[in-house]
Amino acid sequence: MAHDVPAGTGDLYLDLVEAIGEDRVTAGGGARHLYSRDSSIIEGGHSGPVCFPDSTSQVSACVRVALAHGRDFVPRGAGTGLSGGAVPCNDPVVIATTRMNRILEVDQERRIAWVEPGVVNLDLTRHLVGTGLHFAPDPSSQQACTIGGNLANNSGGPHCLAYGVTSAHVAAIEVVLPDASVVTLGAEVGDGVGYDLRGAFVGGEGTLGIATRIAVRLTPDPPVVRTLLLDFGSIVDAAETVTGIIAAGIVPAALEMMDQKVIVAVEQFVNAGYPLEAAAVLIVELDGLPGGVEREVEIVETVAAQNSVGEVRVAADDAERDLIWKGRKNAFGAIAHIKPGYYLHDTVVPRTRLAEVVAKVNEAVERHDLIVMNVFHAGDGNLHPLLVFDPREPGTMERVHAAGEEIVRISLEAGGVLSGEHGIGLEKRGFMPLLYSPDDLAAQGSLRAAFDPLGHANPFKVLPTGASCGDVMGLAEVPEGVWV
């Protein structure tokens, strides 16, 4: 064979080649190693053959061949996921949708675009420039993440405070189900009839099937946008300002917070003009009609003044606005200058408890002798503590996972939830019983079984089970005492 085919997969590989072509299948060791992980810190995945279909029929063919061989399958996009959702367990067929990257149709009148799952989020944004429309979800990985991955994890981003996460912007989905049949969930117009299977599928993390065409709703560009950068002498003052802005009846398009460690790292990396002496900064973006936006700017300035704000900087033009956002969007790249590894967490807590929870998180992480930096969607309480470390140092990963478990428990004790946008994947499935009752988990398991009764679609993800992906692939990073 042309490829280094692992023992026991020869017939599977040949059948996949026959189904979709030799140039769309690889079973070489290098590819299988590359596709054995995503952007999470979870290592140890084992991939079977990797397929690169470029059509719905080819995705269906891959699933059909996998089932014929009794093999699981794992859908994969750009691999930017942070929860281990695309990490393959037990040598499944990996179905990568990155070649399905066409923007099929843009209907400006109906504000609908049909795209394939491999379309990069930012590419869709650029394609829409000049139409007066945009796709609102904008994750920090926007330059690399795909629409299919956004759909799988119900991703958000800074501008989803006012506009909503991905589910609010998906009208219909063409799906290859786990039995290889093809269906369309949802409808371009209206909300459809009957059960909202579209809504169930979004956020399913590849456990309910594979999206092959997606009808996304497009949002009109606002007439006026104002972007403000506010600096504070304490995180408490910044958090109180967040609460005060929402209490004043304003729902900004975006409301982001960064602490001092992130500010310093970003400023050295981007030179965005962030105040290095500030303990925290808020990025507040307001949009809408001119009169309303200017009034909201005044209210934000008043609320900030009541909470000891330092300087309030209002971007003078698009260039300054872009620079402010460049700093926020490049925060995770900037920290690579501090340590070679980081663990980006993702929990949600009530806005009114932001300062309290951040203080507890900082104390817990520092107790484990790690660096913690905070950059997060403050408007909806979506925390993203960055644990910065060097994985080459002995014992580091044990401390990282112990600190991560404490972050989860602190957030849940404050009335929060496990994830705001990264998903559950392998990372947090062991924590699901801390949030849901056995009956809740059973109901979710029944939904999953309705789509995938044989359990071949991205197994071991999201829901806790009797067996674990860790058992299957020798994963050693699961926190001690957590049920997987």
Predicted confidence (pLDDT) per residue in 77-106, tens digit: 999 999 999 999 999 999 999 999 999 999
The answer on pLDDT for 7 being more than 70 is no
Residues 6+ apart with CB under 8 A from 317: none
Let me know: does 145 contact 121? Beta carbons within 8 Å: yes
How far are the Cα atoms of 89, 115, 201 from residue 461, in angstroms, in the given order? 9, 26, 15
What pLDDT is stored for residue 1 in this prediction? 39
What pLDDT is stored for residue 331 in this prediction? 87
Question: Which candidate, 255, 257, 248, places its Cα nearest to that of 296?
Answer: 248
Radius of gyration of the chain (CA): 23
134-187 per-position pLDDT tens digit: 999 999 899 999 999 999 999 999 999 999 999 999 999 999 999 999 999 999
Write down the residue that tokens 């602490």 correspond to: 259
- Residues 255, 164: Cα–Cα separation, whole Å: 13
Amino acid in the structure at residue 257: M
235-245 per-position pLDDT tens digit: 999 999 999 99
User: Residue 440 pairs with which residues in a beta bridge?
Assistant: none
Q: Which of 3-7, 109-113, 323-327, 428-432 has the lowest mean pLDDT?
A: 3-7
Let me know: does 262 contact 275? Beta carbons within 8 Å: no
What pLDDT is stored for residue 37 in this prediction? 94
The answer on pLDDT for 340 being more than 50 is yes
Residues 6+ apart with CB under 8 A from 119: 101, 102, 103, 146, 147, 148
* 3-state DSSP assignment of residue 254: strand
What pLDDT is stored for residue 4 in this prediction? 55
Average pLDDT in the 442-449 region?
97
The answer on pLDDT for 2 being more than 90 is no
- Residues 126, 111: Cα–Cα separation, whole Å: 16
42-77 per-position pLDDT tens digit: 988 999 999 999 999 999 999 999 999 999 999 999
**24: which DSSP letter?**
G
What pLDDT is stored for residue 415 in this prediction? 97
214-237 per-position pLDDT tens digit: 999 999 999 999 999 999 999 999
Mean pLDDT score across all residues of the chain:
93
What pLDDT is stored for residue 465 in this prediction? 81
What pLDDT is stored for residue 9 in this prediction? 62
Is pTM beyond 0.85? Reply is yes
What pLDDT is stored for residue 336 in this prediction? 80
Average pLDDT in the 181-208 region?
92
Question: Which candidate, 301, 146, 296, 294, places its Cα nearest to that of 214?
Answer: 146
The answer on pLDDT for 369 being more than 60 is yes
E strands, 59-188, in order: 73-76, 93-96, 103-107, 112-115, 133-134, 170-176, 182-186
More confident residue, 83 or 4: 83
- Residues 207, 223: Cα–Cα separation, whole Å: 40
Count Cβ neighbours within 10 Å for each residue of 117-152 and write b for 16 or more, e otherwise: bbbbbbbbeebbeeeebbbbbbbbbbeebbbbbbbb
Residues 6+ apart with CB under 8 A from 124: 103, 113, 115, 135, 147, 216
Amino acid in the structure at residue 126: R
- Residues 37, 26: Cα–Cα separation, whole Å: 16
250-273 per-position pLDDT tens digit: 999 999 999 999 999 999 999 999
Band (pLDDT 50/70/90 cuts) for residue 475 is very low
What pLDDT is stored for residue 64 in this prediction? 98
The answer on pLDDT for 481 being more than 50 is no
- Which stretch of DSSP H or E encloses residue 26? strand 25-26
What pLDDT is stored for residue 468 in this prediction? 57
285-328 per-position pLDDT tens digit: 999 999 999 999 999 999 999 999 999 999 999 999 999 999 99
Relative to beta strand 93-96, strand 73-76 is parallel
Q: 479: exposed, middle or buried (C-beta count within 10 Å: 0-12, 13-18, 19+)?
A: middle
- Residues 84, 78: Cα–Cα separation, whole Å: 13
Question: Which candidate, 259, 250, 232, 258, places its Cα nearest to that of 328?
Answer: 258
Amino acid in the structure at residue 383: L
How far are the Cα atoms of 3, 135, 170, 218, 220 from residue 132, in angstroms, in the given order? 48, 11, 19, 10, 6
